[in-house]
Amino acid sequence: MGMDDKSRYESDHMTDTSKSNLDQHAAAEPELSRRSVLSTTALLLAGSAFAADAPAANAAVSGDFGALVSLDERIANLRIGGEVALGIETDIGVINVTATAKNLGLSCPTDMDDLLQNGRGRELVALVKEVKARPKSAKIIAAGDLQFAPLVIRPEKIVCVGFNYRKHAEETNTPIPKAPPLFAKYNNALNHHNGRIKLPTEADTWFDYETELVILFAKPCKNVSEADALDYVAGYATGNDFSARGLQNATSQFTAGKTADGFAPIGPWLATRKRVPDPNKLKIKTLVNGEVRQDWTTEDMIYNCRHLISYASRCMTLKPGDVMYTGTPQGVIWGQKTPLDQRRWLRAGDVVTSSLEGLGDLTVTLD
């Protein structure tokens, strides 16, 4: 953010206190936020030496945390009768897992968090097997009646990675980071396919999209090697790291611009690991009101998924049901070359669709 851009942001967007804070850091912009994030991740890595040993941390206390790997179906959290229920896509249609399990006299996980966090994959595998043998027992949901909930609702952690595509780093004049820059979103930000985002226009007006590959974890993951990293993954999903750029860059910390209500859409589907042999060979795309804004590939990641998981697992224990956003490619509004106050930022009425190959389209509407 140059000095002219900073002045415009101060006058249009910020409180007196925020203006004072921004003035103190003006000489260091725009690299201040990036250096701070890199420093934070370095400190996290140093602190990992005091963590529990990997074998103990990775041992499952109860449940079968690996059974989900055998499934080749896409899974979703659905809204049915005012409640969240698990749905699974099969050859005969999308099945209401709860109602079908009741028909079959089987137990089943109630939602995605129950499935992942409590290691209940074996029950879902058994239900799918039984439905194949007795298809008339399945409770099918018509495609037109599908209503999606956030893919997860109660994760312990939502870990995000910044500046992880080479072209995106180039468009924002960001040096290639020496380690994956980690930051966080919180559960209040979780959103869903066909969801709505109420823009916090009292705090910012520079709203932007970031379509990203999202990783969901199936097993406790601590100090894992890159070679073994994908063994801890439940599957992958489409995500949008929705951002308020003024808030994100007003100080040295990203959080204020990243975790407003609804700023973490994920879904609609969890594509199991079996369906995605290589997460770093997927097409990734963003459309705004039908216009293509991002169109690239996950091959351009600076740090691939194996490296991200291994690195983060040295900083913290990743738990079943945890979420990791893996970064966005070039094409965001923040990377455009026109002056900040002349850019056409996202606003109420816009429709943003994020897409990853084989994972499904994720659409949100802005209010």
Residue 21 scores a pLDDT above 60:
no
Q: Which comes out higher in pLDDT, residue 238 or 28?
A: 238
pLDDT at 251: 87
Task: Report d(CA 298, CA 305) in Å as an integer.
Answer: 9
Angle at which helix 3-13 crosses helix 16-24, to 10 degrees, equals: 160
pLDDT given at position 59: 53
- pLDDT at 11 exceeding the cut of 70: no
Indicate the SS3 state at residue 79.
strand
User: Does the pLDDT of residue 208 top 90, yes or no?
Assistant: yes
What's the pLDDT score for residue 56?
A: 53
DSSP result, 272-301: EGGG-S-TTS-EEEEEETTEEEEEEEGGGB
What pLDDT, in 10s, does the model give residues 67-94?
Answer: 888 999 999 999 998 999 999 999 999 9
Indicate the average pLDDT of the chain.
87
Reported in sequence order, the residue ranges of the chain that DSSP labels E, i.e. its strands, are 74-80, 83-90, 93-96, 140-141, 158-161, 182-185, 190-191, 195-197, 207-208, 211-217, 233-240, 243-244, 264-265, 270-272, 283-288, 291-297, 323-325, 351-356, 360-366
Residue 251 to residue 28: CA distance in whole angstroms: 11
Domains of the chain: 3-51+154-366 (3.90.850.10), 67-145 (no CATH)
The token pair that represents 69 in the structure block: 């790997």
> Confidence band (pLDDT; 50, 70, 90) for 313?
very high
CA separation, residue 268 to residues 28, 45, 53, 167, 305 (Å): 40, 33, 35, 27, 21
Q: Answer yes or no: pTM beyond 0.75.
A: yes
From residue 350, how far is each of 196, 199, 262, 365 by CA, in Å?
10, 11, 15, 6
Residue range 158-187: mean pLDDT, rounded: 94
pLDDT tens digits along 92-122: 999 999 999 999 999 999 999 999 999 999 9
Region 283-307: mean pLDDT is 98
Side-chain-side CA neighbours of residue 68 (13 Å): 33
Q: Report the C-alpha gap between 351 and 353 in whole angstroms.
A: 7
Max Cα-Cα span within the chain? 69
- pLDDT number for residue 237: 98
**Cα dihedral sign, 148-152-158-164:** negative
Q: Report the candidate in 353, 123, 146 with the shortest Cα–Cα distance to residue 239.
A: 353
pLDDT, tens digit (0-9, with 9 covering 90-100), for 123-132 = 999 999 999 9
Which of 24-38, 151-165, 226-240 is least confident? 24-38
Other residues' Cβ atoms within 10 Å of the Cβ of residue 277: 8
**DSSP per-residue string spanning 123-179:** HHHHHHHHHHH-GGG--EEPGGG--BPPS-S--S-EEEE-S-BHHHHHHTTPPPPSS
Distance, C-alpha 338 to centroid of its chain? 28
Residue 63: per-residue pLDDT:
73
Q: For the chain, give the percent of residues with pLDDT over 90.
A: 78
Ramachandran quadrant class, 189 (left: phi over 0; alpha: psi -120 to 50; beta: rest): alpha
Angstrom distance (rounded) from CA 201 to CA 185? 19
Cα–Cα distance measured from residue 320 to residue 220, given in angstroms and rounded to the nearest whole number: 6
pLDDT, one tens digit per residue, over 22-65 is: 333 333 334 434 444 444 444 344 444 333 445 555 654 457 78
pLDDT at 252 over 70: yes
- Contact (Cβ atoms closer than 8 angstroms) between residue 345 and residue 205: yes
**Greater model confidence, 72 or 16:** 72
Q: What distance in Å separates the CA atoms of residue 113 and residue 367, rounded to the nearest whole number?
A: 28
pLDDT at 58: 63
